[in-house]
Each structure stands twice: as C-alpha cells, then as structure tokens.
Amino acid sequence: MVNQKLLNKAFKILRRNYGCPGLDGISIKEIKHSYKHHLKAISSKITRGEINTLPVKIVPITDYRGNTRNVFVYCVYERWIQAYLKLQIEPMVEKLMYPYVYGYRRGLDGNMLNAYITKNKMKRVLHIDIEKFFDNIDTNILCRNLSEEMYINKALLIAIQKTIWAGVGLPQGNVLSPILSNLYLNNLDQHFPTNYARFSDDMYFAFTDPKCINPLVSKVTAVLSKLNLTINFKKVEILDAKKMQ
C-alpha cells in the first residue's frame, strides 16, 4: 500500500531541490501542472514494483584534483520514488546515528563538525579518507544491515535494493545514497566514542600524542576491511585544529 501523504511530501522535497529532467524529458514543472495524473502514475509504478526501470544518464565529473567520478542523473519519477523511500527509512537510520556524525543529516553541517572537533582544545587532528567510498560500498553488507539492524519489512528492502542497483557500489546522484552511506559506516563510528567526528567518508581524530597515530590508522584499517573498504593513504594528513574553526 502506497502512503499518499508521504508521496506528496517526497514531491515537495523534489520541488525544493528541483533539478533537471532525466532522459525521459519529464520535468518537475510538467508534473506540477498535471500533479494528480502523475501522482496516480507514480503510485501505480510503485505498486507494480517498477523501480529503477527508466533510463539513467551517467555523467563523468572531474574534481579539482583531476579525479573522475560518475554521477547518475535519474528521471524525475525515479528520484520521486527514491525520496519516498528515504522518508520511510530516515527516522530509523537517525536512531542509529551517533551525535558526532555530521554529513547528510538534517540540521547538521560542516561548521558544526569543525566546532565539535575544536572544542576539546586538542591542537592536532588526524584526517583519514576512504578510497573511492561510494564506488566500493558492498551492497550485500548494506542490505544485511538494513534487514538486521533496522528490521525493515521485505517489501521495503526489495524496493531499496532495486533503486540503488548500479552494478557496483552506491550510485552518486541517487537520493538514497547519502543516508545509506551513513548507515554503512555506522559500524565504524561505534569503535570511536571520543575525540572523533565524521562527515561522509572524511574521518577526523583529535589527538595530543603523535604515538597514537599508527595504532589509530591500524584500527581504522581493520574495521574498514570488514566492510570491504580501504583507506586512501594519499589523503591521510595531520591538520591544525585551530585552522578548522
């Protein structure tokens, strides 16, 4: 049974973010003009289990370091379904999140992360990044976490599996990917209850004694290995906490 109120709320979120049409050419503006028609169509699409069936445009994006990543541009109907699914799991994911996780959460941002790191008055911060994080997320482990840690029903799990399927990892550009990436690293977060904060796959460890660096890196490496992830050692760095204020 499709929750119409939640589906309406999901579309309001899409309207705020707007975004361009997908390969089918249907735009947010067009849906607004014939909303009842499209609401009925999207409801039927969900009921029939037709999720992630529309064509997806893949756009390679190069960052300032010269690294290229693929961004998935979904049709508006698919983004609507993704937003609908996100609204269903968000309260459950939030219950599992630790307070020092700042990325992809309502009311939290990078400035708050910086304030959290600097308030402990430690001068140095070890920054660790994950190698091709979204591309290397093991969706089998992720779906097991959804099932075992959140006890979501089978129908919802199947819908999520369909919408995030991209051959490998989590597709960047999918509405669900950020919140699911947070859930994926929840097992990592629980190992570091103090002097630690995270924003997406950027981990920050405040410290005073340089001798703790190697043990920290070893511990992170061990935990990530269980998630089939590795550290991007090219990005490991020591930061001045004062400059993060």
In this prediction, residue 245 carries a pLDDT of 62
Residues with pLDDT less than 50, the chain: none
Query: What is the rounded distance in angstroms from the CA atom of residue 122 to the CA atom of residue 231?
Result: 24
R_g (Cα) of the chain, nearest Å: 20
CB 90 within 8 A of CB 13: no
**For residue 95, what are the CA distances in angstroms to 135, 186, 216, 235?**
26, 11, 27, 31
| Residue 222, both tokens | 């061990």
Nearest C-alpha neighbor of 183 from the set 78, 87, 101: 101
Confidence at residue 68, expressed as pLDDT on a 0 to 100 scale = 85
- Sheet harboring 202-207: ordered strands across? 196-199, 202-207, 124-129, 237-240
Q: What is the pLDDT of residue 109?
A: 81
